Structures are given as C-alpha cells and as structure tokens.
Structure 1
Amino acid sequence: MLTSTEESKTVQPAIISYVKDLPNLCSLAGLFCTLLAIYFSILGVFHAAMIGMIWAVAFDWADGLVARKMKGRTGHDRMFGGQLDLVIDIVSYGVTPAVLLLSYGEFDPKFLPLAFIMLAASAIRLSYFSTFGLSGESKYTGLALDNNSIILVFVFLLEGILPSHIFALVFYLSALSLAALNVSQIKTPKLSGNPRNVYLLALYTLGITAIYSWKLL
C-alpha cells in the first residue's frame, strides 16, 4: 500500500500543466513566429518571413535567459523545457529554411536536394547535441542552428540590391555553407548563454524588424 507521499511521487503531471511555465511560453511564442515565417515564405512575402525567423530566434534565446533566472523549477520542468526546445528547433531551424529555399526557387524540384541538405543537417546536428551536449570546453561542436537564421535574414537584405540571379547564387551558397558548418567539427561558443549577447540579439532583432517592415510598405 503506497503512502500519500509515495503516491504523489508516482503521479505524472498533466501535459498541459507545462504550458504555464514561463520559459515554455517563450518557446511556444517562438514556435508561433516560426509558423508565421513558414506561412509568409509559402506566400512569397519574404520580408515578413524574415521578421518571423528572427523573432523565433529571439524567443528561443529568451526562454533560456528566463529559465536561468527563475527559481523553484524542478528537474522535470528543466527536462521538459529542454525537449520542447529540441522539437521546436527542428521546425524553426530545419523546416523553415527548407521551405524558404523552396519557395524562393518557386518550388522548382531542382531545389529539393538543397532543401533536404538543410533539413538533414539540422536533424543530424540536433541529434548529435542531444546525445553529446556541449564539448569539454563548454562550446558547441558544429555551428549552432540558431546562427543559420541570424545569418540568413542578414544575407536576405541583399535581395533587391544584387541582380536576382547573383543574389540567388549568394543565398543558396550561404545556405549550403551553413549546413556544412552545422555538421562540421568546428568549436563555436554558446552565444545564447551570455546575457549580454541576448541583449545584443534583441537590438539586432529590432533593427531587422524595422528594416523589413519598411521594405513591406
């Protein structure tokens, strides 16, 4: 016969109960921004898609900052949040760039290999990190996926400045290079772990949002 204390330890919390955890709310807000980025990519409204992509990164970084400042979070809270981040990351940093590439190429089948490379590199990168975590130097092995979105939204500023065929080449080569770096053995620092970097990203996000909002007018 279980005592009340033992019984309470075996009861699993309700799935929806984790939604009230503030870091998870930040993660879900980022997922909504990702959905907007995919939606506008499919519609071909790429400037709006860029705004969604960079805000997805901002919320991704914010959830870690909030989680570190919160007290009283249980081991299960941290474990659930970590798993939620991984699931959202494959959508934000794998599916979204793949859809963006396909849409910019007007869904021509010849762009499927590159889109698959981006998606596969993201899946491999996340699986590797989930298995091994940070290296002994507290650095990532391979370029962290959030950098893909940070760089791609900057590269896309060249759209409309460069001739279309040159920009397309630059854009696709950038995406291919990022995928290669994602699965490389290079060591990169965990930028989101530094509060100063989070604030720098916030300024970058506001700047990118202002530029692309102006382009939408």
Structure 2
Amino acid sequence: MLNSMRAAMLAAGTTAHRSDIRRFDNDSEDHVRLAEEIFTPPMGRALPTVTSISLAAGSKAMIEYLRDYANAITALAYLFAVIGLFLALNGKIELGVAAMLWTWFLDHWDGHVARNTSHVRRPGVAEFGKSFDGFADFFHGVVFPAAVIILISRGTVLSLLASLLLILAGAIRLSYFENVGLTTDARFMGIPVSYDTPLLAVLLLARPQLPDDVFPIIVAIAFILLALLHVATEIRVPAIRGTAVPIATAFAIAGSIALVMISQSGLQ
C-alpha cells in the first residue's frame, strides 16, 4: 500500500516537474521571440548605431544643430565657399579664392570653438559637427581647387590629371582621417587638404611675376605633388590649434585683401 502511494506521488511529481519544464521552455521561447522582434531590424535595414541613437535623441530637427556655436561657424564657412565657387566659375578666380580663404580660416575656428565648448554641447551635436565639417573640408580643400585648376588651364589634359589625382587623394585622405584621426601628439599623417586653398592663394599672388603660358603648368604640377603628399602617411604635420588659429586668420585676411587688389588692378 505504501509502495503504491509512493509511486503515485513520484509519478505526480514527475508530471508536475515535466509540466514546469514545458512551461519554462514555452516562456523562454516567448522571451526569445520577443527579443528577436525588438532587436532584429526589418528586411534591408540595419540596426541603429550608438551615434545615430545619440543624434536622434539630441535634437528634434536637423536645423537645430546649427544652434551650436561651432556648427554655426561651419555653416558660415559654407556660405563663403559657395560665394567663392560662384565667383571663380564666373571668371573672377582671384575673388573666388579670396572668399575661399575665409572658408579656410573659419574651418579652423569651428574646431577651436568646439573644443572649448565641449562641456556644454548637447548629445549628438559633436557627431553631427564632425561630419558637417568634413564635407566643408572636401568642398574648400579638394573640389574648389580642382575646379580652379581646370579653369586656369582651360581644360588641358594636365589639368584633368591634376584634378583627378587631387580629388581621389583628397577623398582617400579625409576617409582615412575620419577613421584614424590625429596621432597621439596631435599631428596629421600626410598633408591636410586644408593646405590646398592657401597654396592656390600663394600661386595666384605670384602670378603677375610668371609668364602666362607657364603659370597653368606650374599650378597643375604643384597640385599633382600636393595630391601625392596628401596620402603620404610618413609625413607628420602639426594641427593648427591654439595661437596658430589667429595667425592663420591673419594670413587669410591679408591674402584675401591682396587677391582683391590684384583682381581690381587687372580690371583697370
């Protein structure tokens, strides 16, 4: 009698145990299914990254990122960049480069302001500013000089080669910098594309001293060499920071004034 009762109790316990196991398995499957629904993106879409999440959480509208001081300065730099391209394409190359010099020194000020206001910037603003500034670098440091090279040379094969190399090297360099950044001692690997517009300004300032038929060749060769130096990782160039920012600003303003004067003298 006792043995039969004991067997019945064991059987009931085993059945209850199995029922608990099945219920646990079902709950686990439900939890896994729920997790998959939450974390598995729809077909063709990737999971949001930490950066995209922070950007989405940091603003209600794209335009609000310009309320940040550093990003507002970058936006002003874009304004001068478009003016510079407009002037150059309309045959006023010296005036175009003069305007682009303002884009160049503003490009240094936005970084300076960003570093000094990092403690008060809203979430996601820094990530936006980094991309926003990168496009400006490509515009004033690569696309604009390439267009001016072609305009000065009036579409020669050498100018096409120089422009192709400059755009390719500039894109490679900016992509590399986006992922690697500065060295531990705050230096660039390779010559930054921000040196292109100042070189263009210097060449134009020296133009009156050079033969007209030789000047386009000099410009094209100079930028072919510079394109190669953009991707030369053996070169270390210190970043323009601190007291170097106002020095670069003074150079840009003085250079732009000199280019305006040359342009005006050429019209007389």
TM-score of the pair, normalised by structure 1: 0.89
Per the alignment, residue 48 of structure 1 pairs with 95
- SS of 1:188's partner is strand
- SS of 1:140's partner is strand
Q: Which of 131, 147, 150 is the equivalent residue of 2:179?
A: 131
Bigger radius of gyration among the two: 2
The one-letter code of the counterpart of 1:69 is N
Q: Unpaired runs of 5+ in structure 1?
A: 1-8
Question: 2: distance between equivalents of 1:180 and 1:11?
Answer: 41
Q: Is the CA contact (8 Å cut-off) linking 1:55 and 1:205 kept in structure 2?
A: yes
Per the alignment, residue 20 of structure 1 pairs with 67
Q: In structure 2, do the counterparts of structure 1 residues 74 and 11 end up closer, same or farther at CA, with 3 Å as the change threshold?
A: closer
Q: Unpaired runs of 5+ in structure 2?
A: 1-53
Q: In structure 2, do the counterparts of structure 1 residues 137 and 66 end up closer, same or farther at CA, with 3 Å as the change threshold?
A: closer
Aligned positions of 1:70-149 closer than 5 A? 70=117, 71-108=119-156, 111-149=159-197
Per the alignment, residue 37 of structure 1 pairs with 84
Question: 1: distance between equivalents of 2:230 and 2:62?
Answer: 32
Q: Is the CA contact (8 Å cut-off) linking 2:70 and 2:129 kept in structure 1?
A: yes
Give the percent of matched residue pairs that are identical in Structure 1 and Structure 2.
22
Q: In structure 2, do the counterparts of structure 1 residues 109 and 189 end up closer, same or farther at CA, with 3 Å as the change threshold?
A: same
- SS of 2:139's partner is helix
Q: In structure 2, do the counterparts of structure 1 residues 171 and 111 end up closer, same or farther at CA, with 3 Å as the change threshold?
A: closer
Shift of residue 144 of structure 1? Answer: 0.9
Shift of residue 110 of structure 1? Answer: 5.2
Q: In structure 2, do the counterparts of structure 1 residues 67 and 136 end up closer, same or farther at CA, with 3 Å as the change threshold?
A: closer
Question: 2: distance between equivalents of 1:137 and 1:202?
Answer: 23
1:190 aligned onto 2:221: no
Aligned residues: 207
Per the alignment, residue 116 of structure 2 pairs with 69
Question: 2: distance between equivalents of 1:48 and 1:16?
Answer: 30
The one-letter code of the counterpart of 1:146 is S
Question: 1: distance between equivalents of 2:57 and 2:244?
Answer: 39
RMSD between superposed Cα atoms in Å: 1.7
Q: Is the CA contact (8 Å cut-off) linking 1:62 and 1:198 kept in structure 2?
A: yes
TM-score of the pair, normalised by structure 2: 0.73
Q: In structure 2, do the counterparts of structure 1 residues 206 and 11 end up closer, same or farther at CA, with 3 Å as the change threshold?
A: closer
Question: 1: distance between equivalents of 2:226 and 2:243?
Answer: 24
Bigger drift between 107-116 and 204-213 goes to 107-116
Question: 1: distance between equivalents of 2:225 and 2:71?
Answer: 31
The one-letter code of the counterpart of 2:218 is V
Q: Is the CA contact (8 Å cut-off) linking 1:152 and 1:174 kept in structure 2?
A: no
